[in-house]
């Protein structure tokens, strides 16, 4: 299952970072606020300006948040005004997305003026550089993560993020409701925002408007928290397995032994998938729970189908 609906283009205005940065950063805007909406951050990796201030300006990578800490402030402070202006001029500051001063330090007036003239946001945090870098990197990795929208239901079952997908009206939400009554947690119904956090990890979450809600034909939109309590609601979760529901007549050839695992690709990440044919009388919630338990065993290195085939092969070989 792939979605053609992409939510971002791997760049954000600096204003998005300022608005969504962790509260621990306590960001303060010192200058260049005119560039908050026009300057864009394109990569989550940060950079320190030490080498560039020393004259190696080609080390400045456009699109990155630049860190200025105690070493850089000390270096500029020991220069005379003309040399300081020259060092700042080496930065090609108009190419910089934004600058973050750490440890609550006071930047030289020449640096503040250069940021004002170039409309480069100059930010400050009271945190030391090491702590600030960790928080900033984690925040930007989330904000800049490739993302897409999937349609289905996402639940937390036994600690795994389980995507239930299938055609409209096949019973995804009803199955999800049954699973919730068994103690599992709803993450999102109908619309799922999926972020690729790393090369092998996808996180799924609910849009703010839909969070905690489930639509059931005949009942309408219900609030899961109100009905079942806070423990029935899950936050953002890793997407570990897809359960695809298909009508029995449309399912085609189904692997009856389970020795040929299926998978799908979402945002370049391979996700295991289980195909469950749907027909009247089948207990979908029980089947989904069992499929997830099977996946847990496979993740731990045990595959019942492969074990059965191996024992069968050994038995046949022994009888020859």
Tens of pLDDT, residue by residue over 255-287, are 665 667 789 999 999 999 999 888 887 889 999
Banded model confidence at residue 62, pLDDT cuts 50, 70, 90? confident
- Per the CB < 8 A criterion, the answer to whether 11 and 98 are in contact is no
Instruction: Look at residue 245 and tell me whether its pLDDT is greater than 60.
Output: yes
Residue-level pLDDT at 115: 92
Residue-level pLDDT at 239: 95
Banded model confidence at residue 11, pLDDT cuts 50, 70, 90? confident
Residue-level pLDDT at 308: 64
How far, CA to CA in Å, does 16 sit from each of 27, 164, 173, 207? Answer: 13, 32, 34, 17
Residue-level pLDDT at 1: 39
Q: Which residues constitute the domain of residue 100?
A: 12-143
Banded model confidence at residue 5, pLDDT cuts 50, 70, 90? very low
Q: Which residues pair with 58 in a beta bridge?
A: none
Instruction: Look at residue 10 and tell me whether its pLDDT is greater than 90.
Output: no
Residue 174's domain is classified under what CATH number?
3.40.50.300
For residue 312, being part of any structural domain is answered with no
Annotated catalytic residue, options 84, 147, 172, 196: 172
130 and 154 both lie in a single domain: no
Q: What is the pLDDT of residues 127-145, one digit of tens each?
A: 999 999 999 999 998 888 8
118 and 167 both lie in a single domain: no
Q: What is the pLDDT of residues 199-237, one digit of tens each?
A: 889 999 999 899 999 999 889 999 999 999 999 999 999
Annotated catalytic residue, options 190, 195, 240, 244: 190
241 and 134 both lie in a single domain: no
Known catalytic membership, residue 84? no
For residue 268, being part of any structural domain is answered with yes
157 and 303 both lie in a single domain: yes
Banded model confidence at residue 238, pLDDT cuts 50, 70, 90? very high
∠ Cα 189 194 196 (to 5°): 160
Annotated catalytic residue, options 48, 103, 119, 151: 151
Residues contacting 110, CB < 8 A, separation 6+? 76, 81, 84, 85, 88
Annotated catalytic residue, options 217, 256, 300, 320: 256
Banded model confidence at residue 178, pLDDT cuts 50, 70, 90? very high
Coil vs helix vs strand at 194: strand
Banded model confidence at residue 251, pLDDT cuts 50, 70, 90? low
Please identify, among 143, 177, 192, the residue that sits at the C-terminal boundary of a domain. 143
Residue-level pLDDT at 12: 92
Please identify, among 83, 118, 143, the residue that sits at the C-terminal boundary of a domain. 143
250 and 277 both lie in a single domain: yes
Residue-level pLDDT at 60: 80
Known catalytic membership, residue 195? no
Residue 92's domain is classified under what CATH number?
3.40.1390.20
Known catalytic membership, residue 255? no
Q: What is the pLDDT of residues 101-123, one digit of tens each?
A: 999 999 999 999 999 999 999 99
Known catalytic membership, residue 312? no
Residue-level pLDDT at 127: 96
115 and 222 both lie in a single domain: no
For residue 4, being part of any structural domain is answered with no
111 and 158 both lie in a single domain: no
Q: Is the pTM of this model over 0.75?
A: no
For residue 156, being part of any structural domain is answered with yes
Structural domain count of the chain: 2
78 and 132 both lie in a single domain: yes
Crossing angle between the packed helical segments 81-89 and 109-118, to the nearest 10 degrees = 30
Q: What is the mean pLDDT of the chain?
A: 87
In whole angstroms, give the CA distance from residue 306 to residue 260: 9
Q: What is the pLDDT of residues 142-159, one digit of tens each?
A: 888 888 999 999 999 999
């Amino acid at each position: 299952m792939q979605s053609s609906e992409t939510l971002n283009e791997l760049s954000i205005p600096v204003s998005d970072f300022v608005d969504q940065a962790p509260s621990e950063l306590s960001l303060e805007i010192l200058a260049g606020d005119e560039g908050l909406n026009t300057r864009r951050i394109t990569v989550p990796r940060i950079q320190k300006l030490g080498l560039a201030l020393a004259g190696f300006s080609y080390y400045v990578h456009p699109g990155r948040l630049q860190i200025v800490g105690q070493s850089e402030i000390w270096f500029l402070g020991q220069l005379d005004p003309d040399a300081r202006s020259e060092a700042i001029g080496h930065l090609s500051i108009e190419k910089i997305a934004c600058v973050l001063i750490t440890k609550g330090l006071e930047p030289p007036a020449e640096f503040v003026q250069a940021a004002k003239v170039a409309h480069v946001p100059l930010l400050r945090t009271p945190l030391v550089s090491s702590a600030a870098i960790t928080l900033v990197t984690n925040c930007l990795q989330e904000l800049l993560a490739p993302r897409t929208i999937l349609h289905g239901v996402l639940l937390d079952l036994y600690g795994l993020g389980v995507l239930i997908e299938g055609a409209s009206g096949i019973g995804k939400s009803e199955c999800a409701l049954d699973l919730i009554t068994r103690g599992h947690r709803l993450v999102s119904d109908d619309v799922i925002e999926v972020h690729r956090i790393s090369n092998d990890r996808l996180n799924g979450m609910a849009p703010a408007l839909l969070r905690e809600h489930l639509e059931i034909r005949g009942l309408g939109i219900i609030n899961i928290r109100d009905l079942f309590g806070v423990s029935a609601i899950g936050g953002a979760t890793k997407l570990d397995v897809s359960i695809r529901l298909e009508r029995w007549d449309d399912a085609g050839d189904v692997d009856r032994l389970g020795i040929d695992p299926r998978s799908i690709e979402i945002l370049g990440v391979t996700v295991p998938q289980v195909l469950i044919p749907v027909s009247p009388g089948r207990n979908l919630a029980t089947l989904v729970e069992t499929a997830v338990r099977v996946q847990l065993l496979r993740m731990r290195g045990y595959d019942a189908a492969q074990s059965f085939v191996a024992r069968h092969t050994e038995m046949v070989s022994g009888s020859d």
